[in-house]
């Protein structure tokens, strides 16, 4: 009845396995010009009534999204949908479109598009970058109305329990889908940090992104398996494949239950070496889960979302509230707050468009240029540190000069707080992210200036190998087991050891079992992983023999190809740990 | 008819949020409400109109109210401008 089994490969963005039917979602507006030409002249009356209906339908859809978003997001997020709604309620605008249809005898969608274009041009003509950003608000609304005008596929018609296949998904789409018991998401575009990926992880559904043109290849009748562990989408699987995946789903369920036993056990190797294990955190609603289940430190708290929610630097009180909330809820656990790491893939309104954003104005470079905003953030973090459980970390460091400047500014922030008679932890620890190769190479010098290092492996690998992992064309070259990457890590750890400061790894490498075996062997003192991988990695740590891991790492540093390293690590892994890991016994 | 000159004082200017709040306030009243900026007049009850003004911090605009409840409308709208759209 069906075609041959086909396997499509993408980037694994969120773990899990599902089997089900596809829901093909095509947000882009189809080209209706041909149909319209065929029907001949335009009926003004019909166009106007179509337009009215499309607006009503759009309002209905957006209200639904708004109500959903209200449950899941806070006020700041809501404003964007609220504004879109008020565009749709703009009767002045609608009457302009209606009279445009009457005067020009053109179809509603053409007049609507022209009117929106005028608006976009006016906004773009404004010298203000913030205003220009607002064009995005209009864009989402425009697409929704056009989709309804052209009777394209409606989002609300999504079938329950389906695997969503799309070219790309907007935040609004993803939130709406989230209420529909999606089985998984596979998209042509997107990286592992795209909005879809982040939401999928928090909804705990499998997602695979960067699948190139998969949305054109999947048919409505296909049966699909989505494998969010390996980043695969399998269409028309054989009976054999289905059974093997069904077994795996069953096992995963049992296994996840068993994993909970690990919550109470210490994070130490088989031979008793303690490896600190903490989690990365971005949203406040994850805090309770982390505290009640793991009771661990937060090794990386990302603050960018505070910026992205309002599209500007939040004020001191707002930030202080957030940081204080974290510090109090995690106490006596510690939290490492990383200052804004914006730019790069995230958008900064003030930024000029750069042809190489990852090599451009981002992270600490922005903070050091916008000193007032940086001081505001430092003050807010310092004020939240009174419990003695807060550390500060700085992203995108490339050399000693930056750290000197940071320390000066930090001292200035402290001095101002003393003048204002505001309390803070006088002994607050500061650390830097090592994610730029130049910083890695001078790690020995940097280690004299700070209290800890945290290696951001995602960026370090990407910068070391000159590979953009979000580019679906080259992402296969992104390889954490490259000999240069491992030697780079070794330089950092040795530099830190020389001055006795601890090294954390907070990138995805820490969540990979093979890689974390090597990281432990190289002498990393702490792993900070996504909450979803926490127990898995604790389990791994408890299976590792520390002394042996050290020997493995030493040997790997002598190897000169990816293949040799991978084969060797796999072999050691299977010998010492693999069987146990496979056995599903805790 | 009431005419009043006001200045945009908040940092981000007349962006989406204040624009939609302004329209909501103005729409409570029966009076017509227009905003005039550098010779252009737009309907202040239309968010899309207000957005096309692209009024940044520091820009001066003239507010025009015309109708039976113009005084009440003017009081509330002017206050909204003076308060920097609640963003000060």
For residues A384 and A524, state if they share a domain: yes
Count how many Cα atoms sit within 13 Å of the Cα of residue A124 in the half-sphere of its side chain: 10
Structural domains counted in chain A: 3
For residues A483 and A463, state if they share a domain: yes
The pLDDT of residue A555 is 97
- Kindly report the nearest CA distance between residue B48 and chain A, in angstroms: 6
Respond yes or no: is residue B60 known to be catalytic. Answer: no
Instruction: Give residue limits of the domains in chain B.
Output: 2-86
The tokens describing A37, both together, are 């030409």
Residue A481 has pLDDT above 60, yes or no: yes
Q: Which of A296, A475, A482, A506 is catalytic?
A: A506
The pLDDT of residue A559 is 97
Q: What are phi and psi of A62, to 5 degrees?
A: -65, -35
- Kindly report the nearest CA distance between residue B75 and chain A, in angstroms: 23
Q: What are phi and psi of A349, to 5 degrees?
A: -55, -35
The pLDDT of residue A285 is 64
For residues A502 and A522, state if they share a domain: yes
Residue A176's pLDDT band, with cuts at 50, 70 and 90, is: low
**Mean pLDDT calculated for residue range A308-336:** 88
The gap from C-alpha B38 to its chain's centroid, in whole angstroms, comes to: 14
Residue A451 has pLDDT above 90, yes or no: yes
**Mean pLDDT calculated for residue range B71-78:** 95
Mean per-residue pLDDT of chain A = 85
- Name A14's bridge partners: A207
Query: A-B interface: how many C-beta pairs under 8 angstroms?
Result: 66
Q: Is B1 on the interface with A (CB under 8 A)?
A: no
Q: Using CA atoms, how far apart are residues A333 and A434, in angstroms rounded to an integer?
A: 23
For residues A184 and A319, state if they share a domain: no
For residues A212 and A278, state if they share a domain: no
Which of A78, A89, A126, A350 to mutate to probe the B interface, most B CBs <10 Å? A126
Residue A362 has pLDDT above 70, yes or no: yes
- Kindly report the nearest CA distance between residue B17 and chain A, in angstroms: 6
Q: Which of B10, B15, B34, B36 is catalytic?
A: B15
Residue A455 has pLDDT above 90, yes or no: yes
- ipTM tops the 0.85 cut: no
Region of poorest pLDDT, from A168-177, A517-526, A531-540: A168-177
CATH number of the domain residue A215 falls in: 3.50.30.10
Q: Is A91 on the interface with B (CB under 8 A)?
A: yes
For residues A225 and A302, state if they share a domain: no
Report yes or no on A576 lying in a domain: no
Residue A134 has pLDDT above 70, yes or no: no
pLDDT tens track for A31-59:
333 334 334 567 888 889 889 999 998 89
Are B48 and A90 in contact (CB < 8 Å)? yes
- Higher-confidence residue of A364 and A351: namely A364
Name every chain B residue with its beta carbon within 8 A of the beta carbon of A122: 51-54
For residues A22 and A37, state if they share a domain: no
**Mean pLDDT calculated for residue range A295-302:** 92
Report yes or no on A198 lying in a domain: no
Q: Using CA atoms, how far apart are residues A199 and A193, in angstroms rounded to an integer?
A: 10
Report yes or no on A108 lying in a domain: yes
The pLDDT of residue A153 is 39
Residue A74's pLDDT band, with cuts at 50, 70 and 90, is: low
For residues A523 and A508, state if they share a domain: yes
Residue A427: give the domain boundaries. Answer: 265-555
Q: Specify the 3-state DSSP secondary structure of A79.
A: helix
The pLDDT of residue A224 is 95
Residue A347 has pLDDT above 80, yes or no: no
Among the listed residues A457, A460, A471, A392, the one whose alpha carbon sits nearest the alpha carbon of residue A424: A392
Beta strand segments in B8-74, E = 32-37, 40-43, 60-66
What angle (nearest 5°) sits at the alpha carbon of residue A413, between those of residues A412 and A418?
Answer: 95
Q: Which of A195, A305, A329, A499 is catalytic?
A: A195
- Go through A109-122 and write b for each residue having 16 or more CB atoms within 10 A of its CB, e for each that does not: bbbbbebbeebbeb
- Kindly report the nearest CA distance between residue B64 and chain A, in angstroms: 17
Mind giving me the DSSP string for A166-225?
ES---HHHHHHHHTT---EEEESS--TTSHHHHHHHHHT--EEE--TTHHHH--TT--EE
Respond yes or no: is residue A195 known to be catalytic. Answer: yes
Among the listed residues A188, A184, A232, the one whose alpha carbon sits nearest the alpha carbon of residue A210: A188
**Mean pLDDT calculated for residue range A551-569:** 96
Are B17 and A91 in contact (CB < 8 Å)? no
Residue A269 has pLDDT above 80, yes or no: yes
Q: Which of A214-223, B41-50, B62-71 has the highest mean pLDDT?
A: B62-71
Listed in sequence order, the residues at least 6 apart from A540 whose beta carbon sits closer than 8 Å to its beta carbon are: A513, A516, A517, A577, A581
Q: Is A219 on the interface with B (CB under 8 A)?
A: no
CATH of span B2-86:
3.30.1340.10
Residue A583's pLDDT band, with cuts at 50, 70 and 90, is: low
pLDDT tens track for A228-260:
999 999 999 999 999 999 999 998 888 878 888
Residue A470's pLDDT band, with cuts at 50, 70 and 90, is: low
The pLDDT of residue A126 is 64
Region of poorest pLDDT, from A273-287, A413-427, A449-463: A273-287
Residue B32 has pLDDT above 90, yes or no: yes
């Amino acid at each position: 009845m069906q075609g041959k089994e086909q396997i499509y490969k993408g980037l694994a963005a969120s773990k899990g396995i599902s089997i089900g039917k596809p829901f093909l979602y095509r947000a882009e507006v189809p080209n209706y010009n041909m149909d319209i030409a065929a029907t001949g002249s335009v009926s003004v009356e019909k166009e106007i009534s179509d337009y009215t209906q499309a607006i009503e339908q759009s309002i209905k859809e957006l209200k639904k999204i708004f109500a959903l978003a209200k449950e899941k997001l806070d006020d700041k997020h809501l404003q964007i949908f609220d504004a879109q709604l008020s565009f749709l309620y703009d009767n002045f605008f609608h009457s302009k479109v209606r009279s445009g249809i009457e005067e020009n005898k053109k179809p509603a969608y053409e007049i609507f598009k022209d009117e929106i274009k005028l608006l976009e041009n006016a906004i773009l003509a404004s010298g203000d970058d913030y205003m220009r950003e607002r064009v995005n608000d209009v864009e989402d609304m425009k697409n929704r109305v056009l989709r309804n005008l052209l009777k394209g596929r409606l989002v609300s018609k999504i079938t329950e329990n389906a695997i969503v296949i799309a070219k790309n998904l907007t935040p609004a789409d993803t939130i709406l889908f989230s209420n529909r018991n999606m089985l998984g998401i596979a998209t042509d575009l997107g990286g592992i940090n795209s909005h879809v990926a982040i939401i999928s992880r928090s909804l705990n559904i499998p997602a695979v992104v960067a699948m190139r043109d998969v949305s054109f290849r999947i048919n409505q009748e296909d049966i699909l398996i989505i494998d969010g562990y390996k980043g695969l989408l399998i269409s028309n699987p054989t009976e054999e494949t289905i059974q093997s995946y069904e077994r795996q789903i069953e096992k995963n369920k049992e296994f996840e239950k068993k994993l909970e036993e690990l919550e109470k056990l210490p994070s130490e190797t088989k031979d008793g070496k303690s490896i600190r294990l903490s989690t990365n955190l971005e949203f406040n609603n994850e805090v309770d889960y982390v505290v009640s289940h793991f009771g661990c430190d937060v090794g990386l708290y990302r603050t960018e979302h505070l910026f992205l929610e309002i599209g500007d630097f939040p004020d001191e009180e707002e930030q202080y509230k957030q940081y204080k909330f974290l510090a109090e809820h995690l106490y006596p656990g510690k939290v490492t707050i990383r200052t804004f790491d914006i730019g790069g893939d995230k958008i900064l309104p003030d930024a000029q468009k750069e042809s190489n954003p990852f090599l451009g104005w981002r992270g600490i470079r922005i903070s050091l240029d916008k000193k007032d905003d940086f001081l505001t953030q430092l003050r807010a973090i310092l004020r939240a540190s009174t419990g003695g459980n807060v550390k500060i970390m700085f992203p995108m460091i490339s050399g000693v000069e930056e750290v000197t400047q940071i320390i000066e500014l930090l001292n200035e922030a402290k001095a101002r707080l003393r003048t204002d008679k505001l309390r803070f932890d006088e002994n607050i620890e500061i650390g830097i992210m090592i994610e730029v190769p130049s910083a890695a190479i001078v790690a020995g010098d940097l280690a004299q200036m700070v209290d800890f290092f945290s290696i951001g492996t995602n960026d370090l690998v990407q910068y070391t190998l000159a590979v953009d992992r979000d580019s679906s064309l080259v992402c296969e070259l992104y390889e954490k087991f490259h000999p240069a990457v491992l030697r780079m890590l070794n330089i950092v750890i040795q530099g830190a050891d020389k001055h006795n400061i601890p090294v954390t790894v907070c990138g995805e490498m820490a969540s990979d079992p093979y890689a974390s075996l090597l990281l432990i062997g190289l002498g990393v003192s702490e792993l900070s992983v996504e909450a979803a991988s926490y127990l898995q990695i604790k389990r791994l740590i408890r299976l590792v023999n520390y002394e042996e891991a050290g020997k493995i790492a030493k040997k790997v540093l002598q190897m000169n190809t990816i293949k040799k390293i991978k084969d060797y690590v796999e072999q050691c892994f299977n010998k010492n740990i693999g069987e146990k890991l496979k056995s599903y016994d805790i | 008819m009431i005419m009043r000159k006001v200045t945009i004082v908040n940092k981000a200017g007349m962006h989406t949020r204040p624009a939609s709040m302004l329209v909501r306030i103005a729409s409570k009243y029966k009076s017509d409400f227009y905003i005039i900026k550098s010779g252009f007049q737009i309907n202040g009850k239309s968010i899309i109109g207000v957005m096309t003004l692209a009024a940044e911090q520091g820009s001066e605009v003239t507010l025009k109210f015309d109708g039976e409840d113009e005084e009440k409308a003017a009081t509330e709208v002017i206050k909204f401008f003076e308060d920097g759209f609640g963003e000060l």
